[in-house]
């Protein structure tokens, strides 16, 4: 049966036989880069259409239904429109930073992609501090937002950026603590180790209630970190028109838009990897027969299935809840989520030391 790891292996073999190892490596890197960019474009299109269809379903409407079959090409048409639109730079804006910001946002999102395992043995870079790397790089996105808000020379943008800064910095704490819970249980920062540790059951099942709590906190905090409703204060359409990207138009706006969706994908992929076993099929302890049946489903399908389920949950949040206020948002983090996740981490540590988990 064909799988991603097999295809990758064949290409790698062929390249190494044909070229010298250095050239082969260079070609592989270029290939990976192209694939990542391709994946980005594809994800952007798919997620936008998915969001529109999900919201349409929740709002008893049809959603896009004119371009292509069932409107599936709508986001492609939108991208085309955004590409040919003029990218305005407002007078009085810091031109360099203004143009830089969308790229910082994109690059930040791209970098986090590196250690994610898309399928069995299919990973760009299985570095031994994978989790640390992800938490470190994902906080770069706030810089892009701050740059954009500052450079736009617009009060709405500045307010949005400041809100976003306060929000992301504080929510990273709880996100980090809930990720640490899994690191404590696994005893490794390497993503492949974390996935392999879930071969006999995903952490969300093995880790009793504390891990479920950590998972819920993780979901809440990543929703906040990606600036999505109910935590979309950086944009806050009804208050700040569009927040930090008020002044952006054309492709520069599209890059922010894309970065948001890529970020959503990435945090959901991380959530799926840490709590739901990544590409690991649903295994239950020692039920050999059941586990074998589950193994027949390709690992990439498991990974994308879980990720898209989490994305759907986050979209569900967005189309259900009203927005919080900035002080309530910070209260929620500092008064509730942070103490809870700290205590929860303590419980999980005790659990890991005593070996109470399955």
**Cα 267 to Cα 112: distance, rounded to the nearest angstrom:** 9
* Interaction of residue 315 with other proteins, rule CB under 8 A: no
**Cα 306 to Cα 357: distance, rounded to the nearest angstrom:** 23
Q: In angstroms, give the least distance from the CB of 319 to other proteins.
A: 5
Structure token pair of residue 102: 């969308």
Which of 321, 334, 343, 358 contacts other proteins by CB under 8 A?
Answer: 321
* Interaction of residue 16 with other proteins, rule CB under 8 A: no
Which of 6, 95, 155, 292 contacts other proteins by CB under 8 A?
Answer: 155
Q: Residue 118: in which H helix or E strand, if any?
A: strand 117-119
Q: In angstroms, give the least distance from the CB of 232 to other proteins.
A: 7
Q: Residue 339: in which H helix or E strand, if any?
A: helix 338-354
Q: In angstroms, give the least distance from the CB of 221 to other proteins.
A: 16
Nearest CB to other proteins, comparing residues 89 and 246: 246
- Most distant CA pair in the chain: distance in Å? 67
* Interaction of residue 230 with other proteins, rule CB under 8 A: yes
**Cα 16 to Cα 12: distance, rounded to the nearest angstrom:** 6
Q: Which of residues 84-123 bind other proteins (CB under 8 A)?
A: none
* Interaction of residue 317 with other proteins, rule CB under 8 A: no
Q: How many residues bind other proteins (CB under 8 A)?
A: 28
DSSP of 66-99, one letter per residue?
SSSGGGTTHHHHHHHHHHHS-----TTS-HHHHH
* Interaction of residue 12 with other proteins, rule CB under 8 A: no
Residue written as token pair 């991208």: 79
Q: Residue 263: in which H helix or E strand, if any?
A: helix 250-275
* Interaction of residue 325 with other proteins, rule CB under 8 A: yes
* Interaction of residue 236 with other proteins, rule CB under 8 A: yes
Which of 211, 219, 229, 268 contacts other proteins by CB under 8 A?
Answer: 229
Contact code string over 37-76 relative to other proteins, x by CB under 8 A = ------------------x--xxxx---------------
Stretch that binds other proteins, among 78-86, 209-217, 320-328, 343-351 (CB under 8 A): 320-328
Structure token pair of residue 109: 């999102």
Structure token pair of residue 272: 């799926």
* Interaction of residue 233 with other proteins, rule CB under 8 A: yes
Q: Residue 167: in which H helix or E strand, if any?
A: helix 155-186
Stretch that binds other proteins, among 101-109, 114-122, 156-164, 284-292 (CB under 8 A): 156-164
**Cα 144 to Cα 102: distance, rounded to the nearest angstrom:** 7
Determine the angle formed by the axes of helices 299-318 and 21-58, rounding to 10 degrees.
40
* Interaction of residue 322 with other proteins, rule CB under 8 A: yes
Nearest CB to other proteins, comparing residues 137 and 219: 219
* Interaction of residue 80 with other proteins, rule CB under 8 A: no
φ/ψ region of 160 (left if φ > 0, alpha if ψ in -120 to 50, else beta) reads alpha
Q: In angstroms, give the least distance from the CB of 237 to other proteins.
A: 6
Task: Find all residues with CB under 8 Å of 76, minimum gap 6, and list them.
Answer: 45, 67, 68
Q: In angstroms, give the least distance from the CB of 305 to other proteins.
A: 26
Q: Which of residues 174-213 bind other proteins (CB under 8 A)?
A: none
Which of 13, 18, 128, 320 contacts other proteins by CB under 8 A?
Answer: 320
Q: Using omega within 30 degrees of 0 as the cis cutoff, is the peptide bond preceding 19 cis? A: no
Which of 14, 284, 328, 343 contacts other proteins by CB under 8 A?
Answer: 328
SS3 track for 265-331? HHHHHHHHHHHCCCCCCCCCCCCHHHHHHHHCCCHHHHHHHHHHHHHHHHHHHHCCCCCCCHHHHHH
| Contact positions vs other proteins (CB under 8 A) | 55, 58-61, 155-156, 159, 163, 229-230, 232-233, 236-239, 241, 319-328
């Amino acid at each position: 049966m064909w799988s991603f790891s097999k295809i990758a292996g064949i290409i790698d073999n062929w390249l190494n036989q044909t070229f010298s190892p250095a050239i082969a490596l260079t070609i592989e890197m270029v290939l990976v880069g192209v694939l990542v960019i391709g994946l980005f474009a594809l994800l952007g299109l798919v997620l936008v259409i998915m969001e529109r269809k999900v919201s349409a379903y929740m709002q008893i409407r049809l959603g896009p239904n004119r371009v292509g079959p069932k409107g599936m090409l709508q986001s492609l048409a939108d991208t085309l429109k955004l590409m040919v639109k003029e990218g305005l730079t407002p007078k009085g804006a810091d031109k360099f930073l203004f143009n830089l910001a969308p790229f910082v946002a994109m690059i930040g999102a791209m970098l986090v992609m590196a250690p994610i395992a898309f399928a069995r043995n299919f990973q760009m870079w299985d570095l031994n501090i994978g989790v640390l790397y992800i938490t470190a790089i994902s906080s770069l996105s706030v810089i892009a937002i701050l740059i954009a808000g500052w450079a736009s020379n617009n009060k709405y943008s500045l307010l949005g950026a400041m809100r976003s800064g306060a929000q992301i910095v504080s929510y990273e704490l709880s996100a980090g603590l809930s990720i640490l819970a899994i690191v404590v249980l696994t005893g490794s920062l390497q993503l492949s180790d974390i996935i392999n540790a879930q071969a006999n059951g995903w952490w969300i099942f093995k880790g009793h209630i504390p891990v479920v709590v950590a998972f819920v906190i993780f979901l809440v905090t990543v929703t906040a970190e990606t600036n999505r409703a109910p935590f979309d204060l950086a944009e806050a359409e009804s208050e700040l028109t569009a927040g930090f990207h008020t002044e952006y138009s054309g492709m520069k706006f599209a890059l922010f838009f894309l970065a948001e969706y890529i970020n959503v994908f990435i945090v959901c992929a991380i959530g799926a990897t840490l709590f739901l076993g990544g590409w690991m099929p649903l295994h239950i302890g020692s039920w050999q027969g059941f586990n074998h049946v589950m193994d027949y489903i390709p690992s990439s399908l498991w990974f994308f299935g879980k990720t898209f389920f989490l994305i759907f949950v986050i979209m569900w949040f967005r189309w259900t809840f009203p927005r919080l206020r900035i002080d309530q948002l910070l209260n929620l983090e500092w008064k509730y989520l942070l103490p809870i996740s700290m205590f929860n981490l303590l419980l999980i540590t005790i659990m890991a030391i005593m070996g109470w988990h399955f």
